[in-house]
Amino acid sequence: MKKLSILLILVVLAILIKPAIAQQLATPFTGAKASLKNYKALYVLNNGDEKKISGTLRNIKNALEDPRLKGKLEIELIVFGDGVKVYEKTGTFEQTLKDLQAKGVILAQCENTLKERHIDKSTLFPFISFVPSANGEIIIRQYQGWAIVHP
């Protein structure tokens, strides 16, 4: 009886340990492979919180620096609502935005936001672009196959 119990315990242990060993022996996951020739991402910013703005800009920088996407990535930042703070001349994001733009990032502002909030374009950085509506931009880019990223 003791031998049968020991044998049963050994069989159960072998069954439980085998998956753990197999997991360790498998090739480690290193992320998705970037097998396409190019990728497009639209980052959406409609929040005026400085931490949220900084995080979004950092996310864009990180995507641009991902070795799998180097030379394959087109990015647009669409800003509306409270997010307009990122483009205000009185803000602290000018150099970061210029650095991103130098790497090819399209910087776009929703004109509807400016009209609704009575914001003059002259109060924003002169190097940004404008679109009629952010929602329209998001819809169009989505149907053009762009990834929509809303950090």
Looking up residue 116, the CATH number of its domain turns out to be 3.40.1260.10
Domain assignment present for residue 10? The answer is no
The pLDDT-based confidence of 1 (bands split at 50, 70, 90) is low
Q: What percent of the chain has pLDDT over 70?
A: 83
Residue 106 CA neighbour count, 13 Å, CB half? 18
> At residue 21, does pLDDT exceed 60?
no
Residue 129 lies in domain: 39-149
Give the mean pLDDT of 94-98.
98
The pLDDT-based confidence of 27 (bands split at 50, 70, 90) is confident
Q: Which two tokens stand for residue 130?
A: 């404008």
Domain assignment present for residue 103? The answer is yes
pLDDT value at position 7? 56
This prediction's pTM: 0.82
Q: What is the DSSP letter of 129?
A: E
